[in-house]
A and B are shown apart, each in its own frame.
Chain A
């Protein structure tokens, strides 16, 4: 890993407003995830949740390089990606609680946050499944002759699926406007990526498809933003896809409640030492943002997430009449009965 401090030395070309927005979004995600984890540990949430604490910089840096009209696909660890793309924390929290007011009316849950109107084509419970879907979204833009790009989030394990190769091969050949963003947190559930992958990094695979590939410090929100922005501009100009690998860390277990004893002490130490929010805070302090301003943001985010929590808790569960709706868009009732 590159020296933390020097990695942050990015040319001072961003407005204070923009930098503060990045900070706010990262804090929003972390506060949301922390609250979700608390709720899970109290037994308030059913099923499983996968927290992205530690990976906020990739979600925020990447999404902020996109236009509102662009699209994303996400993963099982997708709360941050979706919030970064504009998903409301109250409707996201309500979905985690399985409530009628959640994004999917409680039918999807934590791994399936979707808001089609925000260009979120879905978090996904199957590792790698978003890769062909994002490719198809890119194909749709090409067929329609529109200039939206699609950003495809997936992890290091997603990069080891067959879907990765099949999709990127097609996207590269047909110059589809897709950015394949690998969040490499070094772990596939419990397995060290280095023990199942021969190359030192994953972006090197871009060579195989003759497309741009880059590995960046995924805990540096500006480094992520810049790399993704470059790939977005490249895709929007009709040049085709890129692979961006963001090296990052998972602060928590694979799922909430996973003791994750498989993670070596060094991993955890490095994760906290290179924490994206901590480092960005230091950077902001050196760039005209005061401690007080940041505390104010922290408090505002706490308030927003408390409100999201209250909204979720006080929302009704879906009515049982919803049980069999929306399996099909046409002829639903008959197709469900038999």
Chain B
């Protein structure tokens, strides 16, 4: 049994089920009340759960994120909404220096069970301060878990796992996926953190990606079929913890890798995956790992400029062909 819902409705449903299941789960953030959040993620929550569990805050990201950390220390499980992941600039201390570090720094005394949900990504013509993909920044900070779902089904199962997780989880939702309607299973289900998903099986090349670029990669794979290339698309879903076994399994099958991410290429998480593959699977590779990513620039406003910045299907197709042209099988 399944039903068709949007990605945003799937996340909302997951949060709703957790709110009903556990009274310690609360929502914290801007415009979560009457408005139900700018992307309708908490629509109806205020009426159902009341203002003590739907904490509609002033525009005080530093204050309410830090407040959520303090509440989490006391056994509350806050789900904080940052209206855009770009706003982490004003609330990074509670995330980076407090939530992420306090378990370690207190010798394991503290548990900080909180989720920070934040829309991310380009394509909505929101310009440089509302379009970034900042997953690499979060993944760089030990103590944080980082989740970047692509499908409605994954988004629901992963938000539930994130809320139940006892560590701080950064849950990044691509804005341009919210309205995407997809089939999800009826009823409750959980998708554990740290499990990648093969979104398309293939034998010639592995395209490793996450979030919205999963769809670009799937379209590219379809395009590549026309040239007789059989691409596997691996959706990481969670960057920390990373499902290395899934990466390894796919690389051992295809021996060629393209990593695709929307965010800035320099220091991006794709570079990290590429390095790990080089370090541990070098002998398995038939070609150098190729990255397709955003340029090292500020996300532009003007539509043609913005579209030229983040990876498009053609870029992925081109990268795969480039990799396979270089590919030398010694077997």
**Set of chain B residues within 8 Å of A188, measured between Cβ atoms:** none
**Set of chain A residues within 8 Å of B26, measured between Cβ atoms:** 143
Contact of A133 among B73, B142, B240 (CB under 8 A): B73
Q: State whether A331 touches B193 (Cβ < 8 A).
A: yes
A122 to B240, CA, bound (A): 26
Q: Does B75 contact A (CB under 8 A)?
A: yes
Q: State whether A327 touches B143 (Cβ < 8 A).
A: yes
In the assembled complex, 14 residue pairs joining A and B whose CB atoms fall closer than 8 Å, in A order, are A104-B105, A107-B107, A108-B107, A116-B106, A126-B98, A132-B67, A133-B94, A136-B70, A137-B70, A167-B63, A170-B63, A325-B108, A338-B242, A338-B244
**Set of chain A residues within 8 Å of B142, measured between Cβ atoms:** 327, 336
Q: Does A50 contact B (CB under 8 A)?
A: no
**Set of chain A residues within 8 Å of B276, measured between Cβ atoms:** 338
Q: How far is the CB of A129 from the nearest CB of chain B, in Å? A: 6
**Set of chain A residues within 8 Å of B103, measured between Cβ atoms:** 326-329
A113 to B32, CA, bound (A): 36
**Set of chain B residues within 8 Å of A143, measured between Cβ atoms:** 24, 26, 52-53, 71, 76
A102 to B109, CA, bound (A): 12
Q: How far is the CB of B47 from the nearest CB of chain A, in Å? A: 18
Q: State whether A112 touches B105 (Cβ < 8 A).
A: yes
Q: Does A115 contact B (CB under 8 A)?
A: yes
**Set of chain B residues within 8 Å of A137, measured between Cβ atoms:** 70-71, 73-74
Stretch at the interface among B54-62, B213-221, B283-291, B311-319: B54-62
Q: State whether B167 touches A170 (Cβ < 8 A).
A: no
Number of interface residues of A (CB under 8 A): 53
Nearest opposing residue in chain B for A108, CB measure:
B105
Q: State whether B167 touches A328 (Cβ < 8 A).
A: yes
Q: State whether A122 touches B67 (Cβ < 8 A).
A: no
Max chain B Cβ within 10 angstroms of own Cβ: one of A71, A112, A330: A330
A77 to B235, CA, bound (A): 47
Interface string of B17-51 (1 = CB under 8 A from A): 00000001010000000000000000000000000
Contact of B60 among A108, A140, A169, A334 (CB under 8 A): A169
Q: Does A64 contact B (CB under 8 A)?
A: no
Which A299-338 residues sit within 8 Å CB-CB of chain B?
Answer: 325-331, 334-336, 338
Interface string of A126-146 (1 = CB under 8 A from B): 100101111111111111100
Interface residues on B, range: 35 or more
Q: Does B65 contact A (CB under 8 A)?
A: yes
Q: How far is the CB of B287 from the nearest CB of chain A, in Å? A: 23
Q: How far is the CB of B181 from the nearest CB of chain A, in Å? A: 32
Q: Which 3 A-B pairs have the closest CB atoms?
A: A136-B70, A132-B66, A166-B63
Q: State whether A105 touches B108 (Cβ < 8 A).
A: yes
Contact of B167 among A73, A126, A325, A330 (CB under 8 A): A330
Max chain A Cβ within 10 angstroms of own Cβ: one of B94, B106, B244: B106
Q: Does B160 contact A (CB under 8 A)?
A: no
A115 to B110, CA, bound (A): 9
A31 to B100, CA, bound (A): 34
Known: A132-B64, A133-B94, A166-B58; 12 extra A-B contacts, CB below 8 A, are A116-B73, A133-B70, A136-B76, A137-B71, A139-B70, A143-B71, A170-B63, A170-B67, A328-B145, A330-B165, A331-B194, A334-B241
Q: How far is the CB of A193 from the nearest CB of chain B, in Å? A: 22
Q: State whether B68 touches A136 (Cβ < 8 A).
A: yes
**Set of chain B residues within 8 Å of A330, measured between Cβ atoms:** 165-167
Interface string of A141-164 (1 = CB under 8 A from B): 111100000100000000000110
**Set of chain B residues within 8 Å of A131, measured between Cβ atoms:** 66
Interface string of B165-198 (1 = CB under 8 A from A): 1110000000000000000000000000110000
Which A88-135 residues sit within 8 Å CB-CB of chain B?
Answer: 102-108, 112, 114-116, 121-122, 124-126, 129, 131-135
Q: State whether A162 touches B62 (Cβ < 8 A).
A: yes
Q: State whether B65 touches A132 (Cβ < 8 A).
A: yes
A331 to B162, CA, bound (A): 13
Q: State whether A132 touches B69 (Cβ < 8 A).
A: yes
With A166-B60, A329-B166, A334-B241: A136-B106 Cβ-Cβ less than 8 Å: no
Interface string of B67-92 (1 = CB under 8 A from A): 11111111110100000000000000
Q: State whether B244 touches A135 (Cβ < 8 A).
A: no
A103 to B241, CA, bound (A): 28
A334 to B166, CA, bound (A): 15
Nearest opposing residue in chain B for A176, CB measure:
B67
Nearest opposing residue in chain A for B26, CB measure:
A143
Q: State whether B143 touches A328 (Cβ < 8 A).
A: yes
**Set of chain A residues within 8 Å of B143, measured between Cβ atoms:** 327-328
Q: How far is the CB of A329 from the nearest CB of chain B, in Å? A: 4
Max chain A Cβ within 10 angstroms of own Cβ: one of B65, B240, B244: B240
Which B125-145 residues sit within 8 Å CB-CB of chain A?
Answer: 142-143, 145
Q: How far is the CB of A176 from the nearest CB of chain B, in Å? A: 9
Q: Does B282 contact A (CB under 8 A)?
A: no
